[in-house]
Amino acid sequence: MLYSRKKVRYRRDGYCWKKRKDGKTTREDHMKLKVQGIECIYGCYVHSAILPTFHRRCYWLLQNPDIVLVHYLNVPYPDDNKMLLAPSLSLWTERKEWTHDELVSQLRPMSVLWWRS
């Protein structure tokens, strides 16, 4: 999906992403990608706090950072395509107990994406 970085808060997508050790901010990995040896594209990646195979990747051109490409990806595990949940769903950064509806709301879009791939 393409978004205007100035108009859309694309990082507030409703998914629970892994947090840094401080528990306050999302743990994002950042990098600049090179084309023919020149840095052209900025990328950042986050991993789901619930389903370790689910990721969000964001890319934008360094020369035009106003438009961002947001890519959601669920990569199944190579061994029999087993989908494993994070070790403890109740122990995420806010120590929140998950209700059934909250858990379903997080997993349903991920499983739909997984079955399509």
Could you write out the DSSP letters of every residue in 55-103? EEEEEEESS-TTEEEEEEEE---TTTT-----S-TT-STT-PPPPHHHH
Residue boundaries of the structural domains of the chain: 2-116
- The alpha carbon of 58 is separated from its chain's Cα centroid by a whole number of angstroms, namely 9
The pLDDT tens digits of the residues spanning 8-39 come to: 888 888 888 999 988 888 999 999 999 999 99
Distance CA 27, CA 11 (A): 12
Residue 10 gets which letter from DSSP? T
Provide the pLDDT confidence category of residue 105 given band limits of 50, 70 and 90. Answer: confident
pTM: predicted TM-score of the whole model, two decimal places: 0.65
Q: For 83-107, what is the mean pLDDT? A: 57
Distance CA 18, CA 117 (A): 23
Position 114 pLDDT exceeds 50 = no
The pLDDT tens digits of the residues spanning 43-90 come to: 999 998 888 888 999 999 999 999 999 998 887 766 654 555 554 443
First to last CA, the chain: 17
